[in-house]
Amino acid sequence: MAAASGRQTGRPTLEEVAARAGVGRGTVSRVINGSPKVSEQAKAAVERAVAELGYVPNRAARALAGSRTDAVALVVPETEARLFSEPYFLDIIRGVSGELADADKQLLLTLIRSEQERQRFEQYLAAQRVDGVLLVSVHGDDPLPDQVRALGLPAVLNGRRSRDESVAFVDSDNTGAGRTAVAHLAARGRRAVATITGPLDMYVARCRLDGYREGLAEAGLPADEALVVNGDFTEEGGRRAMRELLDRRPGLDAVFAASDVMAAGARAVLREAGRRVPEDVALVGVDDSAVARHMDPPLTSVRQPIEEMGRAMARLLLQEIASPSAPDDQPRRVLPTDLVVRASS
């Protein structure tokens, strides 16, 4: 806010820089973080506004002050019901908390379920109350990772928003997961292999779908789009998708579900329809979670090392806090997956 003299009365904000430059805050974020995906005209306008307002990114201010909070935020943009019902999130939290405890860092778990909560969290970060941010279950259009970086804080994602992700991340081989699942089903003699995808605004879901299609091609099986139904990584989403698949292709003989939780929903619908697993329909999931082990019959699943992913995320973030990487050289890790064969296939 400007005083009567025209001088700034408080620390300039990212929004004020954007307004002065005549661009969006995302553009300001990209310029500050050195992204090449900005026009020279926009870059010059942002740099001019930064100079005129005296804007200083938080990371520089914190470095000058030599301050650390010894706290890290783990952000999950989901409801409490989903957080505590899905083993995936709990395993990530276990890995993150274990690694941070070893480093004597405090973990702040944050759920973001609305735009109001997002804005409140950004204000919390701007107050320099954490040293870095870990983000889980990020959708493709989510601006939060860039907003965190614009505030001068290191961030590490679980997964990534696109192939060209600009923020540090830890991921698993999701394309390989789909390919491995289909290869296994084809080797067992299945010929009408369906898939229940995750939400396709998430890169992880698109990669597993790509792997499914690659697996079909490698096995010499025809690609039938009627055998592809979108889910949402929830049990109810698996139920809905399985009903639709049975309506479309009653003769299908295998299903690759992009998560164990959706596979559990699909299993319930197959039972209601009188289809035996695996005699009539073979079933494969992803995650190798407790859900897979406790299903009837136990579920064949592509294992991703979820707890290790959480630990790797925390280790990368601690490295970034200690010694930040250049904006165009963010660290990334992709962990391997492997198939755990059980009675469902």
Tens of pLDDT, residues 300-313: 999 999 999 999 99
How confident is the model over 58-77, as pLDDT tens digits?
Answer: 544 444 444 578 899 999 98
Mean predicted confidence (pLDDT) in 44-48? 90
322, burial (CB in 10 Å: exposed 0-12, middle 13-18, buried 19+): exposed
Query: Global pTM?
Result: 0.78
Higher pLDDT, 83 or 298: 298
One-letter amino acid of 343: A
Average pLDDT over all residues of the chain: 90
d(CA 248, CA 157): 37
How many angstroms from the chain centroid is the CA of residue 17? 29
Closest alpha carbon to 152 in 64, 44, 22, 74: 64
Q: What is the dihedral of CA 29, 30, 34, 36, to 10 degrees?
A: -170
